[in-house]
Structure 1
């Protein structure tokens, strides 16, 4: 996560060239955290075919709903060549050819993402995809990503698709199912709203642009262009536009409210001939302190304010909106950000004339609720230490009712997908059950992984926004007991264990001073005695073999050291932001790298001396042999290097010409060398490789269906006790995978297709839904403090992880 620059190479022994690495069949599955773990910003049901629905996320790709309420991931084939596809800014399901689905993909519109955005399209419900590159960027992880949908298919002639762009790029149209695109020159409103024009962070300085496109399906006939199209624009003065001639000309909808708000959703109720619009004073998903809900009668041109609350009860904007197509006049709306005491959902059966609320105050602080929560599929969501222990949610921009089943509903939050199958009980005064229904969605960003030498722990993870977990079972959802507590950070950035006392852990994260210790393999934790007295923040932490010394390379105050839980002191002999680890066997030895320089300490981290110069320009990771003192490995963008003399000199390992994160784990044979897994480039191919003979030869262990997104962001651990099992997870937002060699592999995949609007060339990429894969995921703290940590993680840390 910390970037390290390096320069020229100086090595003890020159590398020799390796032949092309063969492939080995691996079966990949998600480690089950359970239930999402990140922001689900869009859910869409197909309006004409029962059972077809899709969910989109800001950094974790997209998913298709299965009949058993599980979800299938659709973008696991994404690799380093197209990593920005994991940010999905809009999704559309075809109402005529219901096998068709399209997505607008791209992560950032600022300099963090150098890639232009793309439209992905599929004719088999996401099993395979073709891509069209656009001449501008798309911001699936930018402000306003819960607005939408920005992508819309004409319900009467499905070769026509509209897309509303960000950054002042306006409205775009395709007439060939999304293969090529042209700007709609007659639509001149590009949006004026910028979240924070004076912010030093460019993330908040871009134009949010067009928020949604909604066709009035009742205005046309099958086989002809739909005449009436509404477009909502992130503009607080002139936001709702309409065309009555199929997009040839546009005008502002007359009489629209002028309340200085932004339109988040524009949802049509065909039987009522009404357009419902939710407004908030911010782009979301974190902000929004005021808002409104309006309905527009298309036939009469009448606007009606149907905002559910007023006065002091209105302290939030509105996001998700749902129409029950089987029950005209039955609608629902979600408070976008009612942070306290928790989120709010409203329901009306008379088109908004009156509303009932998911909960009501009785005698403060008590509330009566129209629901009970069921997080059995993601039990960590129910944390007794939180208040409330199981929140209805926040950041609620996605809210839908199944068009074929009035009892079936879903909504997205900052943590998961909730919903249920007894919704109409709400109207009779009965209690409904709200369940976590994100089984199959693993959307966490992984910042560190350890496979320690412990009988009861298979894996330890540090996770963006949801702290981290002890994984004693890889296929069982985590509970709140499995999560790091006391203290519980919003985000854990780095983990380490003591090599000779492997039940002793240290972790750092969250805000300044957050450092915690465990002496029982993560079963319980305590704050470091000096945690509150240090201003150190995030970074990388190392633990000496005997668990008596911590060296912490912070992101803000340099490299610091604590002995026997005493006060921290600065290590002046190391540059700031150096990468640090401890020798697993020799308690006196620590290693570090900064730039192209490698450092060693022989006095338990008190002082460091430069000993060698590594090849390449970026240092990624250092790993110490778990069983032999002085045997240390380092990876850079120039390859993989090994020292057997405490880092005095290094030999470049054959094969990798570039290497990011890697690890050592259980050997193939008793007494053999530790197995190595590395994200590396070998023979010109960037992939995940394993070596069983100290890097003499390598096999590739992923295939075209498992791309793992950005190679640089992936964290890797090799199982300490089970040969061949490899763990991989990263800032790509798809949680943690574990792979094992043998039968049941994920498959061979097919080719990819990329089409540029100016020069078509085509490819098709197969989705990862062919590999056997089990679900579940994690969540974050339900308080306002979480808001900022989630915000920071999703736009800053994720980018750094991708580019570390």
Structure 2
């Protein structure tokens, strides 16, 4: 990553031609790995996610994204948040450790970023090593902490054997703490050649003891946890970090996940698990450490056969000493379990028990009205109501009733926690309104049909029939069948109510059909359970499905017959159907373009794409047979004769990725493309067939890596476009394009140049102090795991 010098003022954003809003799916959508409340400002809290950045809590329980401006294609990993810290003495200051992976999937080192205005703007300090916001153990923590008595001092616990780091200038630079030699030597799978599970987990938390007084102007006593279950995992300094030692008599069987100070008790509470999370956890413990006496007490809520999970989330009530809540880490059946104690862990009250009838007797209610599809797809079909991957459970330090906890699906919580243990039930409510941490696999808008079809990782997918539906969370996901992930979706151009989608998991039928625009679905049994993944294309008259699978090459099914191999296409070919002529399908692999005029029974070479070596996407015109655009590593090519010949849109965009056509203001269609243009790698639009291009993204909104983004022009509403991201859900906006509905200064002129021939076979040391500053868009407020192992999505770099 390249960093600029620190500016005295915030960089002025380039004005975009579009104002972006999230399509409202609701529910969160991915793993909320950490929630942090400010200790002195009531209700001020932030949530960090593994691939979707940071959100700020609003007074109405909704959330506002505060990192939308920090993840361009060159620094896409900034949406991976591995740790979060607030300055106890200044509620405006936030720190975060950012970076997605510590292995080769992420080519760049991480950073510590800082905001002094609650996330409106950010500065970055580069580190000399990588940060793993989407790596194993990402729910531990927090690994980042500000000294409560000296705001200049910030500690960060690194992964990969990099140890403990310290800043003495409020995050402008970090130096390694050489006196701290423990590095956290555990790796989930040392033999993993990808480096994802073989990397050392490193340090797991940093906790200051605010009751310990000062040494040299800094808090004297500091505790640090490490991923180590062999010798010691909790270390302490009594002299503000000058020297360190293992805490005596500590437990050494499990890995510490959370450590919370209860200052009035002068005690630490710690949760442990036999894995570092967030997916694992079959054994664990909860301990209380009396700082004054040095005594460890095992206060684990259950034992024996009742203990089949680890412990993660830990909330300490700072208003009521001795009151705390702990969460099971992955009790896969029948549900997660939460325990509350009001006597420092001497006794516990679970949130549910087995009743005399053999059914679960719950001391809580579930309210998912903000994301009703959670009820229809999860609560109505499973006992697992409370969630999974509960690594962060927090109680507002200034409000004993206000609590929140993060799961692999959403944020739950409420405002009546003290009902626990009384005759009244605790309300457990989905409170992720505004958090859209979805990894989007495809977006399609159907001309004359459904406004938006969104294929989603971890939640299968969602249908928005009309533009007016975009602000309302759907009542259900794509079900019957409900898969973990829908990887691709397409529609029939002449019969727009007919839709096909494919899923991304082995062992089940991974093709589903709809005859009502995606409102309901049914399984297509023409496939088998071994085929999955890839891309799907539907013929114009809805009688032929072409499927470029991940496992079985390219296959075809006509008139509901069994899928059979298409031998004339290479595996993993990019495919598309003509949207008006039922006979034509298109495909691309490397630099070769293929055409079929016999409903995908066979393909032959089409026109040449001069200079291209990689075909990325194919977009057929929604209303004109034989007209199509092809995205490549050297730009976009255009054909009006069913791919027999092409002209290149030269001088405009290069190295393009996903492209789409959408309804324009006049009778023409806009062309949208992710590519490298006048303002760098971003999203561009053209209202004149690619003769000129407008930067419709701007700098206040980023979409992450453009090679992982999806784009879909609206087929029904003029100048609207949808963007699917890897971690921030689906965005939509109305564009203003030169040559179309308006003008903008950010345009690049291009001439179409004839370039191709018709094919005869087709007729028709320490971290540096170098920092950069960026603005984050703040709106006005009022990989694939199973459903129960959601990680928040895929990286396009994997």
* TM-score where L is the length of structure 2: 0.91
Aligned residue for 1:83, secondary structure, equals helix
Q: Is the 8 A contact 1:381 1:390 kept in 2?
A: no
Distance 1:668 1:729, change over 3 A: same
Aligned residue for 1:159, secondary structure, equals coil
Measure, in 1, the Cα distance between the counterparts of 2:357 and 2:139.
32
Q: Which residue of 2 aligns with 1:634?
A: 630
Q: Which moved more, 1:468-477 or 1:65-74?
A: 468-477
Q: Is the 8 A contact 1:382 1:389 kept in 2?
A: no
RMSD: 2.2
Measure, in 1, the Cα distance between the counterparts of 2:614 and 2:211.
58
Q: Is the 8 A contact 1:58 1:141 kept in 2?
A: yes
Q: Which moved more, 1:620-629 or 1:676-685?
A: 676-685
* 1:786 Cα offset (Å): 2.6
Determine which of 671, 684, 690 is the counterpart of 1:689.
Answer: 684
Q: Which residue of 2 aligns with 1:538?
A: 533
Aligned residue for 1:342, secondary structure, equals coil
Q: Which residue of 2 aligns with 1:252?
A: 246
Q: Which moved more, 1:734-743 or 1:43-52?
A: 734-743
Determine which of 612, 616, 621 is the counterpart of 1:620.
Answer: 616
* 1:742 Cα offset (Å): 7.0
Distance 1:773 1:444, change over 3 A: farther
Over 6 Å off, 4+ runs: none
Cα shift readout 1:240-291 (whole Å, capped 9, x = no counterpart): 11111111111110000132x1100111111111111100001111111000
Determine which of 776, 781, 794 is the counterpart of 1:767.
Answer: 776
Q: Which moved more, 1:459-468 or 1:511-520?
A: 511-520
Determine which of 110, 119, 125 is the counterpart of 1:132.
Answer: 125
* 1:388 Cα offset (Å): 2.8
Where in structure 2 are the equivalents of 1:291-306 lying within 5 Å? 291-306=284-299
Q: Is the 8 A contact 1:662 1:676 kept in 2?
A: yes
Find out whether 1:591 has 2:577 as its counterpart: no
Q: Is the 8 A contact 2:463 2:474 kept in 1?
A: no
Aligned residue for 1:312, secondary structure, equals helix
Q: Is the 8 A contact 1:76 1:768 kept in 2?
A: yes
* 1:759 Cα offset (Å): 5.0
Find out whether 1:337 has 2:355 as its counterpart: no
Determine which of 40, 45, 51 is the counterpart of 1:53.
Answer: 45
Distance 1:193 1:631, change over 3 A: same
Listed as ranges, the gaps of 5+ residues in structure 1 are 1-21, 749-755
Q: Which residue of 2 aligns with 1:704?
A: 699
Cα shift readout 1:92-124 (whole Å, capped 9, x = no counterpart): 010012211100000000110001010000111
Q: Which residue of 1 aligns with 2:492?
A: 498
Q: Is the 8 A contact 1:156 1:222 kept in 2?
A: no
Aligned residue for 1:567, secondary structure, equals coil
Distance 1:759 1:407, change over 3 A: closer
Q: Which residue of 2 aligns with 1:225?
A: 218
Q: Is the 8 A contact 1:49 1:95 kept in 2?
A: no
Q: Which residue of 2 aligns with 1:786?
A: 787
Find out whether 1:34 has 2:34 as its counterpart: no
* 1:683 Cα offset (Å): 2.5
Q: Which residue of 2 aligns with 1:517?
A: 513
Q: Which residue of 2 aligns with 1:729?
A: 724
Determine which of 395, 403, 406 is the counterpart of 1:401.
Answer: 395
Measure, in 1, the Cα distance between the counterparts of 2:328 and 2:115.
33
Q: Is the 8 A contact 2:125 2:772 kept in 1?
A: no
Determine which of 385, 391, 397 is the counterpart of 2:385.
Answer: 391
Q: Is the 8 A contact 1:92 1:103 kept in 2?
A: yes
Measure, in 2, the Cα distance between the counterparts of 1:426 and 1:234.
33
Find out whether 1:116 has 2:109 as its counterpart: yes
* TM-score where L is the length of structure 1: 0.91
Number of aligned residue pairs: give it: 752
Q: Is the 8 A contact 2:660 2:673 kept in 1?
A: yes
Measure, in 2, the Cα distance between the counterparts of 1:162 and 1:616.
49
Q: Is the 8 A contact 2:189 2:197 kept in 1?
A: yes
Measure, in 2, the Cα distance between the counterparts of 1:707 and 1:617.
28
Aligned residue for 1:226, secondary structure, equals strand
Distance 1:324 1:239, change over 3 A: same
Distance 1:365 1:510, change over 3 A: farther
Q: Which residue of 2 aligns with 1:421?
A: 415
Q: Which moved more, 1:409-418 or 1:607-616?
A: 607-616
Measure, in 2, the Cα distance between the counterparts of 1:758 and 1:648.
55
Cα shift readout 1:21-64 (whole Å, capped 9, x = no counterpart): x9763221100001201100100001122222111000000011
Q: Is the 8 A contact 1:133 1:757 kept in 2?
A: no
* 1:519 Cα offset (Å): 1.1
Measure, in 2, the Cα distance between the counterparts of 1:103 and 1:684.
28
Aligned residue for 1:272, secondary structure, equals coil
Measure, in 2, the Cα distance between the counterparts of 1:346 and 1:758.
41
Q: Which moved more, 1:565-574 or 1:359-368?
A: 359-368
Q: Which residue of 1 aligns with 2:733?
A: 739
Q: Is the 8 A contact 2:417 2:426 kept in 1?
A: yes
Aligned residue for 1:382, secondary structure, equals helix
Q: Is the 8 A contact 2:126 2:770 kept in 1?
A: no
Find out whether 1:668 has 2:668 as its counterpart: no
Higher RCO structure (Cα 8 Å, ≥6 apart): 1
Q: Is the 8 A contact 1:84 1:107 kept in 2?
A: yes
Q: Is the 8 A contact 1:469 1:478 kept in 2?
A: no
Distance 1:222 1:158, change over 3 A: farther
Q: Which residue of 2 aligns with 1:10?
A: none
Cα shift readout 1:472-521 (whole Å, capped 9, x = no counterpart): 3444333343x111111100000011111111111001323311111111
Q: Is the 8 A contact 1:471 1:478 kept in 2?
A: no
Measure, in 2, the Cα distance between the counterparts of 1:345 and 1:281.
18
Where in structure 2 are the equivalents of 1:358-507 lying within 5 Å? 358-363=351-356, 365-383=358-376, 386-388=380-382, 391-455=385-449, 457-472=450-465, 473-481=468-476, 483-507=477-501
* 1:197 Cα offset (Å): 1.2
